[in-house]
A and B are shown apart, each in its own frame.
Chain A
Amino acid sequence: MSSFKRDKKEEEDGVGNIFQNIEKTTVLQEARVFNETSVNPRKCTLILTKLLYLLNQGEALNVKEATDVFFAMTKLFQSKDVVLRRMVYLGIKELSSTADDVIIVTSSLTKDMTGKEDIYRAAAIRALCSITDATMLQAIERYMKQAIVDRNSAVSSAALVSSLHMTKMAPEVVKRWVNEAQEAINSDNVMVQYHALGLLYHIRKSDRLAVTKLIAKLTRTTLKSPYAVCMLIRIIAKLLEEEDSGNDFPYFDFIESCLRHKSEMVVYEAAHAIVNLKRTTSKELAPAVSVLQLFCGSPKATLRFAAVRTLNQVAISHPAAVTACNLDLENLITDSNRSIATLAITTLLKTGAESSVDRLMKQIASFVSEISDEFKVVVVQAIRALALKFPRKHNTLMNFLSAMLRDEGGLEYKASIADTIITIIEDNPEAKESGLAHLCEFIEDCEHVSLAVRILHLLGREGPKTKQPSRYIRFIYNRVILECPSIRAAAVSAMAQFGASCPDLLENIQVLLARCQMDSDDEVRDRATYYSSILSKNDKNLYNNFILDTLQVSIPGLERSLKEYTQNSTNQPFDIKSVPLQVGPSPDEREKKHKSEGMLTSQGPLRPPPVSREENFAEKLSAIPGIQQLGPIFKSSDVVELTESETEYFVRCIKHCFAHHVVLQFDCLNTLPDQLLEDVRVELEPSEGFELLSVIPCKQLHYNETNHTYAILKFPDDDLPSCVGTFGAVLKFIVKDCDPTTGIPDSEEGYNDEYILEDLEITLGDQIQRVSKVNWGAAWETAAESSVEKEDTYSLSSMNTLDEAVKNIVQFLGLQPAERTDKVPEGKSTHTLLLSGVFRGGIDILVRAKLALADGVTMQLTVRSPDDSIAELITSSVG
């Protein structure tokens, strides 16, 4: 899309891109002239430019191509042409990661970096660092140290920044350059000072005490460079955030004093830091906000933008402070820079009173067509937040959204509007009918197939639950007549939902489905036939399992299982239970989704549908012997830390649960530079009934490296109560002492050592996968006949609110809340939480928890599951 736009623009301008039609093979061919005895600098510069252009367009060279052209390029060092030489440096940097033997240019570059020609020196340093690996670093160390303290500021800056990049590869070596960096921080040049601070901080950042010393020293001197001061503010803010130090930490005062700095950049940085610090009190906040307020009236657009963006970000956490700027924000509504105007309005919306909503919405409407999609999305998100805050305003907001829907706009923008309408519908029953009506209207003329399909799906789910379901049928059936096959198929499925849920519509739906069986598209006909035949059976149970709550497997998982099945010749029928389940979003994920709203953060390009964590792990685990036979992973737990994070060895565990087994994955990090660990494994003391099948040790664990060791255990057979338990754990390994700079062991001899880990718990939640039921009520009813029911009453004395109780129950059981019952309406003293999930082995679980608030929370828990002992396990483990 964007490239299309660009082309069009160029056509208009009448200037084409001269590099547009070049081809990789041609350029590589042309590059052979680099080998000629006498170099033609102009010609070679042009060819190199083409090559760099291609690489920057994402064209990839294979190793041979890259190596050939790299070596041809090295011959250009014979030319003294300044422009060509600098192009060669760029070429070296670009190819350094793909070509072989790039260290061949080391001497040529060290010569340039220490030579008389100043223009070469900085660029040569950057190129040199890109070709240097850890083994070669020693050879250039002397030059780097000299360059860091060079009188030429460009040289010094280049050396400092390159050193920073090289800390990734050889932190121990770069640490030795600390004295030079110290010297550079006294430089008069603003950039050198900034870069020196960057490097010093980077070297020391894992050492709390050293950072504190650095801050103490620098806050006492006056840094000349505003960039360095900004950096210092960030360092201090980060420390303050981690420290939980209360107010006695003296450096907050330093940030405060920076509000009076003569550089605007520093003043802004200080204000930004103060409003974003969690510990800031309202008294401390005031001066920072007045600075931002001042900037709102600045003639410089960048300052206004920075100020309003910061206010926007903190509008939720510090509403009162932001409200103090309301007048200034109002002024910005008419700012000629629409980005500023948008942020101003959305900030006002976040903090404003219900009464101001209508006025502000009118304001936005006046220019919404002038802003880019990206900012329109910000507006939409602000509206969503508003709708959740002021449910009574849903009419104004819905009308606004539907007007936006009818406007021009890209898929991402339209999808965000549809999402918002859907959220509002789900949150506010009163808004449902009008929201659905808007969406019906929208799909009458919607150019985005994926969006139309989603909306049809929603209509099928929500329409039958409204007062007058029949009114939606016309909209849906219209799609069958007018649209492309994928939309027609979605419409057929939506109609079937009405047929299954509304007995009085069934006859009509059957007529429509009969017509769809004449469709020209296979998928549409198949669906119509399928639904029509099920609906003709008149069996509630069938409706539930095959229309309302269909397959709950993960689609990529199903694809993989089917592929494996067809590749193995077996007479066994395919077992749908062996397919990993489609997992509902975890509370965390949903939280995250809402947090970023209203911020100006790019979502990036559309991503492929996410793969579940389990599928991600499945790929890695399948390489490990003995795991393939266990079947698919049923659930992977969250990460559990078995050590404190700042210890010698840092160990974390992920529990992968299978139908009858559990695989424990231990991620171990070695933080000791002078130790190489070998044969690293975790020795377990499993609780009774668990059988330890095998341990897969990690062969080697170098410094600063994370590697895995595994243990495979079998769950106790036929004894569910023993399937939850606590294991003792000890990390065992062989230590080889080694040289911290090279990581090479001093001798072949090692010695055994061990390290006690925290106990590891296998919980109920580890063995339950959250699976959502579209129609929980119908499933519950069906389960009354086919399942066992267990019920018990509990008093949850440590819970003070219903909300808190709901959160804890959901987390403890690891089940998926249905029908948004995890949201407790405000001011209620009773609530019913509906949950669903699957126990390992594919056994359904439905839970209903009736909660009442009375001196703590009382809970009546009802569990329905086809398996007696699972229902028992759940009721007993809660108590």
Chain B
Amino acid sequence: MGLFQKFANFLGVRKREVNVLVVGLNNSGKTTVVNRFKSEEERVTDIVPTVGFSVEKFQNKNLSFTAFDMSGHGRYRDLWEHYYKDCHGIVFVIDSSDRLRLVVVKEELDLLLQHPDVCNRKLPILFFANKMDSKEALSSVKIAAGLGLDKIIDKPWHISSSNALTGEGLQEGVEWLTQQIRDMILSKT
């Protein structure tokens, strides 16, 4: 990075671009979450199941986020790995009312953590225990325990309960992520 660029960053003149990957099982609310992050005029009203992936952009603080919103259907989960290498953070969305599939979530998470493009990096991971409004919803603590999050020691992680329909809990999570990524970038430069 050139000296001028460094200077510019420091002064916050130009927004720094970062990539995040949004993953999780299908129907967990990933697309709805990302939609919430966008400015009001850019939001869509009609959310359809994602086929493959979709690229969305949003801002938080002085970071400009490019989110790769991946499809969570079985057929596409193997394709997440194509996007691990170059991301600065991961958003992992869980449907906290879907108790039945919590084991599947754990399986996918473990695969992700063991992947060569992920395991040796200090990538921040933000978990959303989404659909907290639902009656059957498990608490974020129960979910963290169910997924064995305490075993993740080489990466910063954070879990927030959220309701993507109202936006509740989302801001707190994304602020944590922004901070983590900024720290990471600063320590590198």
Contact = CB atoms under 8 A, between A and B. Distances in A.
Q: Do A and B come from one complex?
A: yes
Interface of A: 35-38, 71, 74-75, 77-78, 101, 103-108, 110-111, 136, 139
Nearest to A102: B52
Nearest to B17: A38
Interface string B97-129: 000000000000000000000000000000000
A36 B76 contact: no
B contacts with A: majority SS: mixed
Given A35-B86, A37-B19, A71-B82, A104 B52 contact: yes
A417 to B, nearest CB: 59
A37 B79 CA distance: 19
12 contacts: A35-B86, A37-B18, A37-B19, A37-B66, A75-B86, A78-B66, A101-B79, A105-B52, A107-B52, A107-B54, A108-B52, A108-B55
B88 interface: yes
Contacts of A107: 50-54, 71
A contacts with B: majority SS: helix
B2 to A, nearest CB: 14
A78 B51 contact: no
Interface in B1-60: 17-19, 50-55, 57
Contacts of B82: 71, 74, 104
B155 interface: no
Interface of B: 17-19, 50-55, 57, 66, 68, 71, 76, 79, 82-83, 85-86, 88
A111 B79 CA distance: 20
Given A37-B18, A78-B66, A105-B52, 8 more contacts: A35-B85, A37-B17, A78-B19, A104-B82, A107-B50, A107-B51, A107-B71, A108-B54
Contacts of A38: 17
Nearest to A132: B51
A104 B53 contact: yes
A36 B19 CA distance: 10
A74 B18 CA distance: 17
Q: Report, nearest first, the 3 A-B pairs whose CB atoms are least far apart.
A: A106-B51, A104-B52, A71-B82
Contacts of A104: 52-53, 76, 79, 82
B50 A37 contact: no
Contacts of B85: 35
A195 B43 CA distance: 35
A71 to B, nearest CB: 4
A34 B117 CA distance: 17
B178 to A, nearest CB: 16
A35 B86 CA distance: 7
A78 B57 CA distance: 8
A36 B86 contact: yes
Contacts of A106: 51-52
Contacts of A110: 51
A78 B55 contact: yes
Among A74, A106, A107, the most chain B Cβ lie within 10 Å of the Cβ of A107
A107 B70 CA distance: 10
B71 A37 contact: no
B79 to A, nearest CB: 5
Contacts of B66: 37, 78
B181 to A, nearest CB: 11
A139 B51 contact: yes
Nearest to A101: B79
B110 to A, nearest CB: 22
